[in-house]
Amino acid sequence: MPPMDPSSSSATPSRMSIIITHRGQLHTLSLPAQTTISALHEQLAELTGVPPENQKLLYARKKWTYAPDATLVDVGLKAGTKVTMLGTTAEEVGGIHKVEEERRRRERIMEERRARGTPKVRSTGPSTPSESAQYRFHRIEPSHTCPPPDTARATLTRLAADPAIQHVMRTHRLAVSLLTELAPHEAPHLLGLNENAGQAVKLRIRTDAYDGFRSYAEVRRVLCHELTHNVWGDHDDNVRALSPFSLAPAFDFCVGMCTDRLIGLVQFKAMNSQLNREVAEFDRAAREGTHTLSGPAEARAYVLGGLGAATPRAGETAEERRKRVLDATMRRLRREEEELEQSCGTAPARDAPGHT
């Protein structure tokens, strides 16, 4: 009998150690060489909390496509092999589902509103004295370092006295202690700032060159955004950049940390859109001298820059026009909200005024 090749026994050892990398952490597993792939998935589930059905294993930069009953030896693993695992835990997946459920809930509400037809609103007349006294801007103060302060005060007073702004503040019970301006030299990259959920709201009402004032419509839109922060807190760079539909490993890494903030972002955007819509509906009702509001799609078209998209096309039904307007304005809304988020410095009061 020829002598046994000494390398043959080491080629298929009874046990082997493999290294699993998951979210930047290394896990060394010592397993029998005949361990099946399904058994490996189960062990990884116990180790990381990622269910087997959510696991993706990458070996030599390729995804495994082997049968569950294949063994470590069958798939060509050797001692010291590094395997990358991608996957989210059941808890994290549940958080993503909550975000999706919230989106579907809002879509369902919008469908129900369209089905009900033109909604009625309560009188746009004066509210009770107690409401007017509580849900308002309690103090207005321009920057005394930027001339002319009288013009700045007039702009801030106009915003505070705007019937549509007063309407949404009473409707949503929003109060602001101080409404003031954000001078061009103060955090030049910001358009607005809400300190400590309404302790102070600062708006950039002047042009960067100090030679005039920004358009009233633009400043009022920023104000609606900042009022939303009375209810929903600040959004940091993680939330601005987060994309719940990305399949990149970066999302797999950050979703566990950002799920709660992602849900908050959805709720923030929903309320911000609602305030914009209600301001537009109030303006339209006042302009037409009625107490009825147009449908949500048309109202959004007005607040986002005009009614051109709402003009009927030949042969187009009312429902088709409504859907076309909604699609167009939602795209515009997303762009404008993203721009505002990049120019919003909302933070707790302890960070003010020196934060950027």
Local confidence pLDDT in tens for the 356 residues of the chain = 444 444 444 456 788 999 999 888 899 999 998 999 899 999 999 988 899 988 888 877 666 677 888 898 888 888 888 998 888 887 777 777 777 777 788 778 777 766 765 444 444 445 555 656 789 999 999 988 888 889 999 999 999 999 999 999 998 899 999 999 998 888 888 899 999 889 999 999 999 888 899 999 999 999 998 998 888 766 544 434 433 333 333 334 444 444 455 555 566 667 777 887 888 888 777 876 654 333 333 333 233 333 344 456 777 777 777 667 666 655 665 566 666 666 666 644 444 333 33
d(CA 116, CA 78): 66
Domains in the chain, start-ordered, CATH in brackets?
15-87 (3.10.20.90), 90-356 (no CATH)
Instruction: Read off the pLDDT of residues 38-47 as tens digits, 9 standing for 90 and up.
Output: 999 999 999 8
Per-chain mean pLDDT for the chain: 73
- CA distances in angstroms from 263 to 88, 117, 239, 258, listed in the order given: 17, 30, 10, 9
Q: Which amino acid type is present at position 101?
A: E
Residue closest to 310 by CA, chosen among 334, 336, 284: 284
Q: DSSP assignment, residue 344? A: B
Instruction: Read off the pLDDT of residues 286-312 as tens digits, 9 standing for 90 and up.
Output: 876 654 333 333 333 233 333 344 456
Question: Under a CB-based contact definition with an 8 Å cutoff, are residues 315 and 287 in contact?
Answer: no
d(CA 170, CA 130): 10
Residue closest to 340 by CA, chosen among 236, 190, 232: 190
Instruction: Please tell me whether the overall predicted TM-score, pTM, comes out greater than 0.75 for this model.
Output: no
Q: DSSP assignment, residue 309? A: G
* Number of C-beta neighbours around residue 188 at 10 A: 11
d(CA 58, CA 19): 12
Structure tokens at 143: 């920057």
Cα–Cα–Cα angle for 42, 47, 48, rounded to 5 degrees: 100
d(CA 122, CA 134): 20
d(CA 356, CA 346): 10
Helices vs. strands in the chain: H and E counts, helices first? 11, 9
Question: What is the CA 78 to chain-centroid distance, rounded?
Answer: 44
Residue closest to 99 by CA, chosen among 242, 296, 248: 242
